[in-house]
């Protein structure tokens, strides 16, 4: 996807506020199979490896490392900030279950591995994580090995850049474009300017300023009063619910699913610690939710 030149040239007069991206073709292919066809993670990985999309060691793709590297690059071009890779929180798709996929569908979402780089009042934040996307969001329709970058800015508003995320020809085309650019500079006797001239000091954001909605899947004994207790735990951190779903009990255990309203990373850390300390709740999964 020719997103870097777009950010460096076409959007140079605009102010980018957030970049969301489906940035890894392998994980995207796997999530498509899991979402659309109900495959397990293991079956999706096996097929991705057989088709040559995933390496024999798929760690870089499925654990979000590859997407995190790309988030670092996007932060440089979109915000002029250089973020250390270690400062990009990343969570892969290995913990996504068919239950999570089914709940997402029931509640009107799809799950995709999304890179999220944004500027808030205190600085810049970058992360990669499986994310509940509303089905009407443009990124929700990015399937198979296609990738997309969704840019929010003050001038243009919203724009999306879409194309193949893997494959011999797209890769060769991108590499050859750089070679042609270098050859033209040599022919003109001009070294040229840096690809990206946008530089500024932008600190890492305070976790209290980075807010999102979140999905919690919790197991609890199938007894009365559990949702009330759960509400008390979230309320103690000033977190409210947007949606609550209690699934049919499996034996003596029930599954409670919660979609919260926007809360900060500070609140997320605090409420997760309280849930893990509570004897009557087991946190099965926590995922970010992109609100409508």
Residues assigned a catalytic role: 70
Of 145, 77, 74, give the one whose Cα is nearest residue 113: 145
- Tell me how far apart the alpha carbons of residues 146 and 138 are, in angstroms, rounded to a whole number: 13
Sequence-ordered alpha helix ranges (H) in the chain = 3-5, 25-36, 41-50, 59-62, 65-79, 98-107, 168-188, 226-235, 265-277
Q: How far apart are CA 151 and CA 157, in angstroms?
A: 8
Point out which residues pair with 250 in neighbouring strands. Answer: 253
Q: How far is CA 38 from the centre of its chain?
A: 21
Rounded Cα–Cα distance for residues 288 and 292 (Å): 13
* Distance from C-alpha of 133 to C-alpha of 124, rounded to nearest angstrom: 22
C-alpha neighbours within 13 Å on the C-beta side of residue 193? 5
* Region of residue 223 (phi > 0: left; psi between -120 and 50: alpha; otherwise: beta): beta
Cα distance between residue 131 and residue 93, in whole Å: 10
DSSP assignment string, 129-188: EEEEEETTSGGGG--TTEEEEEEEESSS-EEEEEEESS-HHHHHHHHHHHHHHHHHHHHH
Contacts of 51 (CB under 8 A, 6+ apart): 29
- Strands 253-260 and 158-164: what pairing? unpaired
How does DSSP classify residue 93? Answer: S
């Amino acid at each position: 996807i020719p997103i870097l030149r777009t950010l460096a040239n076409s959007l140079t007069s605009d102010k980018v506020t957030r970049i969301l991206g489906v940035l890894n073709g392998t994980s995207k292919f796997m999530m498509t199979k899991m979402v659309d066809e109900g495959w397990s993670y293991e079956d999706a990985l096996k097929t991705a490896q057989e088709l040559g999309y995933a390496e024999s060691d798929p760690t870089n793709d499925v654990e979000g490392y590859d997407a995190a590297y790309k988030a670092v690059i996007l932060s440089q071009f979109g915000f002029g900030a250089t973020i250390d890779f270690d400062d990009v929180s990343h969570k892969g798709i290995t913990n996504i279950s068919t239950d999570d996929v089914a709940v997402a569908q029931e509640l009107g979402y799809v799950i995709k591995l999304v890179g999220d780089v944004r500027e808030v009042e205190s600085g810049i934040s970058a992360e990669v994580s499986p994310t509940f996307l509303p089905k009407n969001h443009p990124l929700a329709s990015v399937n198979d090995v296609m990738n997309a970058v969704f840019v929010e800015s003050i001038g243009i508003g919203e724009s999306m850049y879409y194309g193949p995320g893997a494959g011999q020809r797209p890769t060769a085309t991108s590499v050859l474009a750089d070679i042609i650019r270098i050859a033209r500079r040599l022919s003109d006797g001009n070294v040229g300017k840096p690809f990206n001239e946008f530089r500024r000091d932008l600190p890492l954001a305070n976790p209290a300023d980075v807010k999102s909605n979140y999905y919690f899947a919790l197991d609890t004994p199938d007894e009365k009063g559990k949702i009330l207790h759960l509400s008390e735990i979230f309320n103690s951190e000033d977190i409210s619910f947007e949606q609550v779903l209690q699934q049919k009990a499996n034996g003596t255990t029930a599954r409670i699913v919660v979609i919260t309203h926007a809360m900060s990373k500070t609140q997320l850390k605090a409420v997760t610690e309280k849930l893990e300390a509570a004897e009557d709740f087991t946190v099965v999964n926590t995922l970010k939710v992109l609100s409508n």
